[in-house]
Structure formats: structure tokens, C-alpha cells
A and B are shown apart, each in its own frame.
Chain A
């Protein structure tokens, strides 16, 4: 039987890269695309600034042995700024993590995981002008886990 044009699963698969990743990497080279298909690394977002590597390890090793965790740091202060990369030894564990851990809570925050083409040096730093993540600069709410109010440096 030939491969059908459409996914014929009876429900959406949760172990796919998010539309954000799709957009981010749609114009990238084939090698990046391939990396995304084979990658064992996940981007993890919406962490509290205070969540430790040990806590992340405790939750993420429920899906398999974790090879390494790279904490996302503020570019200037070198303190955690609410994201990290988790690398597994196998692709299967990474996909299971998308299915079972994504959108559940860690440190009482709903975290977001996404398949990532792989960690490269430099990506551990926030890309916002304040040094942290960009999303924290466009926030109006008070989020005690992420340094209070958003930090709009341009004001």
C-alpha cells in the first residue's frame, strides 16, 4: 500500500515540532530540517527563573536517561532566565517527552517543550535586549516566577 497523502491517524500526534518550530526552521537548510527529524534535544520553555537543574532532571528523566541539561541564562547576569535544553540519548525518549511531559507542570508552572534541531554554543543565552528572553520584555502581567513585571528596556 502506498503512503497516503494525509496523516491517517485518528487524532493529532503530540510528538511533532510545534508550528513555531516549523516556522522558525522552514527556510533553514535541509541539514537543519534533517537535524530536527533526528534530534534528541528538546527546548523547554516557561520555566521559573528559580527552577533548578535537579528539578528538571527529576521530571525529565521520567521519560528516559537525560544526557545533559543546558540551562538558559541571562546574557548579562548569567543567571537562569526561564528556559533550558534537555538532551536525551535516544530519539524515542525525546518524542515520549513531547507526548507525556509537554504542557504539564514543573515547579507549578505549565512548561512547554518543543523538538529542537540541537544545542549550539551561544543558544544558551537570552536573546532579549535586557539579556533575558524576548517574551519577558513584552509581558504586562506580574509573574513572580519570572522576575516580576516584564522588563521593557526600551522605555
Chain B
């Protein structure tokens, strides 16, 4: 574009002037908003605060503040921004420190914005208090604490913490048992104390914090029997002492007080904010409702788990230091609250040392060898280890993780993509640690571990150094290490296919990845089989969608033949076996196929496997597993479909696993899955029936019909409840049955007992709420095993 010449129009008579003739390109559609709207621009600046950048941190902090104050914002944008700040403090709590520093700069430039911000923060905190979201109260309160220099009446904050503490103590003193709300409040108090000292190192603050802490000792923390059930390490064989995170926090604070609250956690912001220009504002008191609400539905104590211990160098803070809890708390809140963007979570976790004081951690990507040779006095804390440990703690939380396990998988996958050199060795150590602990791990943790690791490997070409585990192939078949290798490969196969997995395994392991038929044959229809002719007819009839009556003839033929062949044989069982195998075989092409064949043949299925015939239903499960013996994953899905279509009941699945199957099958992943599915299904049926009852009651209708209908529904709910109870009684009864055997296979018996106890422990723990009313009937089973009696007693406390 020419800018030097004056834009005199060229005179060109007779020729039509065209657009291109003009030297300027002004005809381009003008963009109405050349300046980016305020909110997105400021959002970008503030959300990136503290992240790696080409500017030094003080510069970024000031730049953010100035950009904010130099922008005219209307009320709506201002409120959106304040809301964004609060959300940063909740979703990305690692950033709250730099954010608070920047906002103090805002306040020193334009103090009305500081005042408005404080008002907003107090209102938001009050909102969370009213809704009982105590974790968010903790996070926004921390934000306020970090803004301490702006607050003229900071005693409001001290007073609020003191009142929370009083409430917690009062609530706890009522009962000797655990109380979720009291624990939540107590956690808010204890986790706020260190930040009081961090925000202001004056003696006055320290003294007030100490006073609060002394008072907090009145909270009578009681160790809980149930904790034993939540420990991922069984038999008291943990590689370190697993403690409740609250109990630990108390211990850590004692030593922090002893060190006079010396906690150099943060970057030194004091040079950035001009102390003299600070205008202080007063904030309003918080109102505590008389009846405190809680939105936390999880009544379980949180245990502090570690996956990096007893290494040549301690790469994580020792458990008695407050830093271990502070890091874990910051990382866990990021992990849980920012779960809607796993890429961002992985970024923050991988680089979380950025947000805290330089020098607090060892440099990233440093190997353990190098770390062990580090200068004395320099930190050996590896940020990657600390971050991964927090994710693994989330994943292996018992009885269930706060978010679906797959979320934690995805964060770890993301972290590995993001910083392979830094993260891969860290994973390697965690994986080996868990592997070495396998015989001391809870059964559920073993399956969670196999599920995670197989999913992880499926994202990274299935490469793993299998060789280092080869020796363990000589172990007993039921040894958890050997079982783990088998189950891991089984899970890999389900995500991939045999030829591919075999490529990645050493020869010794290829037997685990054996290659079954894609579509196993329908063996009854093979030419030499006695029922060959009838079987083929059945296949044809199913394909032709014949009615149950049309099958009558061929079923009779089979029955007659079976009597001729073998007098003892159960003719109905033979019919059932052939028919079910035919359905499964027709549906072998894909899950959709089997689904549609089941649906089409539902009426015939009900005749060969009548409702209420428990034995026949158990046989159906057996037939499915016989057909898919090489692909148990598919078998599980088919069983599930049969259960969903009500061909078989959940109880029959449980009975097949626990009564009909070999005891060794307890170590199979599918047994674990089937039991879980069956219980969930039984619970879902009750839920559906109950909601149906509510619908009917609301709808109204003619009086007499309604009564009849309600009675019907009530009866079915009753039946379903009985079925669920029956499931639990069966589980306890069968799993507590003593293992029989002779001295020759002592080791096998030991492991059989190990798996049984592990299953029992896990099911009692996971479903304790569902069998609450069953404590008595369970005791009446005449159980003598101390382990089981103990476990039942422990679950009563959950």
C-alpha cells in the first residue's frame, strides 16, 4: 500500500474504473471491533499469570494490574472478571498467589476496584457457606487471606476461622464416632492456618495463629476402625504408615508451630506491591447459619497415600512436614475442580513448581542419581513425583475415586505426552512400586491398577519392559504378581487385538495372548455331533424368526434323543445349552448382533430359561463363558445384555461366579466385573421400581385400579429388595466358606484364601450402605472367622 503519495484519483476517461485500479485496499470489509473486547483480553492475561513466560513474574503481575485499571469496564464485565478471579482461586488454586499480588497492585492504582473486589469475594464466600460447600469456602477464604494487606479489619477472618473451629469442636464432642461435617470444618480451619503465616510474617499474626492452633487441639480426633478398610495396603503390610490426612495435618502443624511458622512457600512478592500506597478496606462479617449445611456426600476419611518411598533420595516432602499436605491439597483441588480441561490440569501439574518459591524444588527432569549427588542443603523434592503422587492418590482412593478412574488415566496420559522425559521415569517408578507391593494390595486396587496401566499402554504403543517381570512367571498361579501380568495382558487384548499384543510381548508371555477364533464354531452343529441336525434347524428357526411354538417340535426331538443317549442327562439343560449357544454364536459378529438376536428371540429364550428357574439361569452364564472362553471381555458383555433383557437375574450371575465356578476364577478380572455389574443391576432395578411407584402415585387415576397397581409395584419392590439381600448373603456366605485342601498344595490354598478375603473386604466396604439392614442376618450365618466379623464391624462405622 502506498502511503507516501497523496491519494489523488487517476483520471482515466472512457474506461470503467475497477476495484483493482485503486492502490488502496480499503474496500475490504471493515472489522467493526479492532480492539479485542475487554473481558477476553483480560481473562487471557489473568489466567496465564504465573505460567512460564518470557517476562519476569513481577513484570507480568504489574502488566496484568495495569491492563485491568487502564480498561474501562462496565458493571457486568467487572462482575464477570471478579467471578473469573474466584474461579481461578477454586479451579487453579496454584495461581491464587500471583493473582492476589496483582490485585493488590490494582488496589494501589485504583482502590475503588479493590474495595469492589473484596465485597464480591465476601459475598461469594457467604454463598458457599450457605450452600455448605466447605471446600470452596476454604479456597476463597485463602484468596482473601492472600489479600490481607488490603483488609483493614482482618480480625473478621480470624474470628470466622475461630467460629468454624468452635462449631467443629462442638459437633465432634457430641459423638465419639466420625462426623463428616465436623471433619470438613476442621479441615478448612487447619488448612487456613499455614496461609495466615504465609501471607504475613508479623509476630502478631503468628501469635494469633498459634492461639487458634492451640484451641484446635480440643478437637478430639478419633482414629477409626473403618480406616483399615480404606487402606489400599492390606494385612498391615504397608511400606509406610498410612494415616488419615487430618490426623497427619495435626502432627504437621505441631512441628510448624515449633518452627515458629517458618514456611517459605511463596515467591517474594513484597517488592512488587508498593507498601506505602496501600489503601485498606473493611470487609463484612460472615454469617454462619445455625444449622450448618453440607454438600459433601462422601462420608469417608481421606487417607494420605504415598507411592514414592524408600528410594535412594527422598523425592517428596517427608510426611511429618506441612509441605506434603499443602502440595497435596493444592494439586488435588486443581485435579478435581479443573476436571473439565485435562490438558490444562496436566500442564499445571507438570509445571506446578512454577507457581511456588524458586528453589523450593529440585530442577525438573533430574534423575535420582543426579539428585543423590546434589549439593547438601539443596532441595531434592521432585515436582513431577509430587504431582504424579497426587493423581495416583486420587485414582486409588477407596472405596471409590471422586471422579471416574478414567479421568485420572487421561490426566496421566496427557502429562506423559506433554513432558515425556520428565514424566516417563516417574511413572516407571510408581508402576514398579505398585508391582512390588502387589501381594499387599487391596483386590480393588489391583484391578484399578491393571485397568489404568493397560489403558495407559494402549496410548503409548503397548511398550513396556516385560522382561523384568519374567521371573515371576514361576510363581504360584494365584500369586497376585502372576495374576496381575495375566490380567494386564487380558485388558490390553480387550482394547486391541491378539496379533498386535503378541508383537509387544516376549515369547514367554505370548501364551497369555492366545489367539482364539474371531467367531468360535457352533460345536453342536458340527457334522459328527449327536444333535447336529436339530442344532442346524434351531439356527434356521432363529434366523426365520419363528415363534416359540415352532420350536416346540425340535426341542422335543432333542429331549427324546438325549434320553436315548444318556438316561441321566437333564433334557431341558441340553435344550437350553444348544439354544443359548446358537444365539451367542449368531451374535458372535458383534455386540449389536448379539443384542438384536437376544431381542428377537426373547420369547423363546423365556421358554428355555424360564423366569424363576435359578439353576437354568446360572447355566446360561456358564454356556456364554464356555463359548467365549478365549474372550472373557465379550462374555462379560453378553452376560450383561442377558441381564439387561431380564433373561437372567443378577443373583444367578453372582451364584455362577461364587458357587458354580472354580475357586481359582476369583483371581480373574471378569469375576470382579460380573459381581460389580450384578449388584449395580440389582440396585438399579429397585431404583426403577421405586421411581415407577412415585410416578404412579403422582399420576392418580381411578381409585381401585390405583390400589391394585400400587400393590403390584410394592410387591415387586419387595421381591427386588429380597433379591439384593440374597445377593449379599450369598457373597458373605460363599466367600467365608473355609478353603478345603491338603498340605500338598499349601501355597495354592493360602492364595485362594487371600483372594476370598480380598473380595469380601472389598464388597463389604463398597456396598456397606446397601446391606446396613443386614448386619443381623449376616451375623446369623454363624460366621466364626475373625477376619469377616471384624470387617462387618468396621463397615458399620462407615
| A interface residues with partner B (beta carbon < 8 Å) | 1-2, 4-6, 8-15, 50, 52-55, 57-59, 62-64, 68-71, 96, 99-101, 104-108
| B47 and A11 within 8 A (CB) | yes
| A108 and B83 within 8 A (CB) | no
Q: Knowing A4-B80, A54-B634, A54-B637 touch, does A10 contact B91 (C-beta < 8 A)?
A: yes
Contacting B494 at CB < 8 Å: which of A58, A64, A69? A58
| B87 and A8 within 8 A (CB) | yes
Which segment of B263-271, B333-341, B567-575, B744-752 sits at the interface? Answer: B333-341
Q: Knowing A5-B76, A99-B339, A100-B406 touch, does A10 contact B92 (C-beta < 8 A)?
A: yes
Contacting A69 at CB < 8 Å: which of B451, B458, B592? B592
| B595 and A68 within 8 A (CB) | yes
| B494 and A8 within 8 A (CB) | no
| A108 and B341 within 8 A (CB) | no
| A54 and B592 within 8 A (CB) | no
In the complex, the chain A residue whose C-beta lies closest to that of B343 is A14
Bound state CA distance, A12 and B341, in angstroms? 7
| B495 and A100 within 8 A (CB) | no
| A4 and B83 within 8 A (CB) | yes
| A1 and B79 within 8 A (CB) | yes
* Residues on the A chain within 8 Å of B458, using CB: 105-106, 108
Contacting A9 at CB < 8 Å: which of B91, B404, B495, B631? B91
B425 proximal to A (CB < 8 A)? no
Bound state CA distance, A96 and B408, in angstroms? 12
Bound state CA distance, A55 and B79, in angstroms? 47
* Residues on the B chain within 8 Å of A53, using CB: 590-592
Bound state CA distance, A75 and B77, in angstroms? 51
* Residues on the A chain within 8 Å of B339, using CB: 99
Give 10 closest A-B pairs by Cβ, nearest first. Answer: A62-B406, A4-B80, A8-B83, A11-B341, A11-B344, A100-B410, A53-B590, A10-B88, A58-B494, A105-B459
Contacting B43 at CB < 8 Å: which of A6, A13, A52, A107? A6
CB within 8 Å of A: which of B78-101?
Answer: 79-80, 83-84, 87-88, 91-92, 95
| A15 and B590 within 8 A (CB) | no
* Residues on the A chain within 8 Å of B47, using CB: 10-11
| B496 and A15 within 8 A (CB) | no
Q: Knowing A10-B338, A69-B591 touch, does A54 contact B406 (C-beta < 8 A)?
A: no
| A104 and B595 within 8 A (CB) | no
B559 proximal to A (CB < 8 A)? no
Nearest CB in chain B: distance from A67 CB, A: 10
Provide 9 A-B residue pairs closer than 8 Å at the C-beta atoms, listed in order of the A residue. A1-B127, A6-B39, A10-B84, A10-B338, A55-B494, A57-B591, A58-B495, A96-B404, A107-B496
B342 proximal to A (CB < 8 A)? yes
Bound state CA distance, A2 and B410, in angstroms? 34
| B interface residues with partner A (beta carbon < 8 Å) | 39-40, 43, 47, 76-77, 79-80, 83-84, 87-88, 91-92, 95, 123, 127, 338-344, 404-407, 409-410, 413, 451, 455, 458-459, 461, 494-497, 590-592, 595, 631, 633-634, 637
| A13 and B405 within 8 A (CB) | no
Nearest CB in chain A: distance from B637 CB, A: 6
* Residues on the A chain within 8 Å of B77, using CB: 5-6
Bound state CA distance, A57 and B595, in angstroms? 13
In the complex, the chain B residue whose C-beta lies closest to that of A54 is B634
In the complex, the chain A residue whose C-beta lies closest to that of B43 is A6
* Residues on the A chain within 8 Å of B92, using CB: 10-11
| A71 and B592 within 8 A (CB) | yes
* Residues on the A chain within 8 Å of B40, using CB: 6
Most-contacted residue by chain A among B40, B83, B95 (CB, 10 A): B83
Contacting B80 at CB < 8 Å: which of A5, A59, A62, A107? A5
| B590 and A54 within 8 A (CB) | yes
| A15 and B340 within 8 A (CB) | yes
Bound state CA distance, A95 and B76, in angstroms? 29
Bound state CA distance, A14 and B459, in angstroms? 19
* Residues on the B chain within 8 Å of A58, using CB: 494-495, 633
Nearest CB in chain A: distance from B515 CB, A: 15
* Residues on the A chain within 8 Å of B413, using CB: 104
| A96 and B407 within 8 A (CB) | yes
Most-contacted residue by chain B among A5, A10, A70, A106 (CB, 10 A): A10
Nearest CB in chain A: distance from B420 CB, A: 15
Bound state CA distance, A107 and B406, in angstroms? 17
Bound state CA distance, A99 and B409, in angstroms? 12
In the complex, the chain A residue whose C-beta lies closest to that of B460 is A105
* Residues on the B chain within 8 Å of A52, using CB: 497, 590
* Residues on the B chain within 8 Å of A9, using CB: 84, 87, 91, 340
In the complex, the chain A residue whose C-beta lies closest to that of B95 is A10
Most-contacted residue by chain A among B413, B494, B591 (CB, 10 A): B591
Other contacts beyond A6-B80, A96-B404: 14, CB < 8 A: A4-B79, A4-B83, A6-B40, A10-B47, A10-B84, A10-B95, A12-B344, A62-B455, A68-B595, A96-B406, A96-B407, A104-B410, A107-B495, A107-B496
Nearest CB in chain A: distance from B645 CB, A: 13
Contacting A99 at CB < 8 Å: which of B80, B407, B461, B496? B407
| A54 and B83 within 8 A (CB) | no
| A101 and B39 within 8 A (CB) | no
| A62 and B405 within 8 A (CB) | yes
Bound state CA distance, A15 and B80, in angstroms? 21
Bound state CA distance, A46 and B499, in angstroms? 22
In the complex, the chain B residue whose C-beta lies closest to that of A96 is B404
| B634 and A99 within 8 A (CB) | no
| B496 and A8 within 8 A (CB) | no
In the complex, the chain A residue whose C-beta lies closest to that of B82 is A8
* Residues on the B chain within 8 Å of A59, using CB: 455, 495
Most-contacted residue by chain A among B40, B43, B76, B495 (CB, 10 A): B495
* Residues on the B chain within 8 Å of A55, using CB: 494-497
* Residues on the A chain within 8 Å of B407, using CB: 96, 99-100
* Residues on the B chain within 8 Å of A106, using CB: 458, 495
Most-contacted residue by chain B among A54, A100, A107 (CB, 10 A): A100
Nearest CB in chain B: distance from A30 CB, A: 26
* Residues on the B chain within 8 Å of A6, using CB: 39-40, 43, 77, 80
* Residues on the A chain within 8 Å of B91, using CB: 9-11
| B341 and A14 within 8 A (CB) | yes
* Residues on the B chain within 8 Å of A96, using CB: 404, 406-407
Most-contacted residue by chain B among A8, A14, A15 (CB, 10 A): A8
* Residues on the B chain within 8 Å of A105, using CB: 458-459
Nearest CB in chain A: distance from B718 CB, A: 26
Q: Knowing A9-B87, A54-B637, A105-B459 touch, does A71 contact B341 (C-beta < 8 A)?
A: no
